[in-house]
Amino acid sequence: MAYNLLKGKKGIIFGALDENSIAWKTAERVVEEGGEIVLTNAPIAMRMGSIKKLAEKTNAKIIPADATNVEDLEKLIDESIEILGGKLDFVLHSIGMSINVRKGKHYTNQNYDWTHKGLDVSAMSFHKLMQTLHKKDAMNEWGSIVALTYMAAQRVFPDYNDMADNKAFLESIARSFGYFYGKDKKVRVNTISQSPTPTTAGKGVKGFDGFINYADQMSPLGNATAADCADYTLTLFSDLTKKVTMQNLFHDGGFSNTGVSDEVMAKFEK
Residue 167 is assigned to a ligand binding site: yes
C-alpha 197/C-alpha 201 separation (Å) is 9
How would residue 118 be classed by pLDDT, with cut points 50, 70 and 90?
very high
What average pLDDT does the segment 122-129 reach? 98
Residue 15 is assigned to a ligand binding site: yes
Q: Hey, where are the domains in the chain?
A: 10-266
Question: What is the assigned CATH class of domain 10-266?
Answer: alpha beta
C-alpha 126/C-alpha 132 separation (Å) is 10
Work out the mean pLDDT of the chain and round it to a whole number. 96
| pLDDT tens for each residue of 131-189 | 999 999 999 999 999 999 999 999 999 999 999 999 999 999 999 999 999 999 999 99
Residue 22 is assigned to a ligand binding site: yes
User: Over 90: is that where the pLDDT of 200 sits?
Assistant: no
| Bridge pairing between strands 248-251 and 188-194 | parallel
Residue with more model confidence, 34 or 2:
34
How would residue 49 be classed by pLDDT, with cut points 50, 70 and 90?
confident
Is the Cβ–Cβ distance between 66 and 72 less than 8 Å? Answer: yes
φ, ψ at 101 (rounded to 5°): -65, -45
Is the Cβ–Cβ distance between 45 and 52 less than 8 Å? Answer: no
Q: Which of 12, 7, 15, 1 is nearest to 49 (CA)?
A: 15
Confidence at residue 60, expressed as pLDDT on a 0 to 100 scale: 98
Name the residues annotated as catalytic: 150, 160
Residue 193 is assigned to a ligand binding site: no
User: Over 70: is that where the pLDDT of 204 sits?
Assistant: no
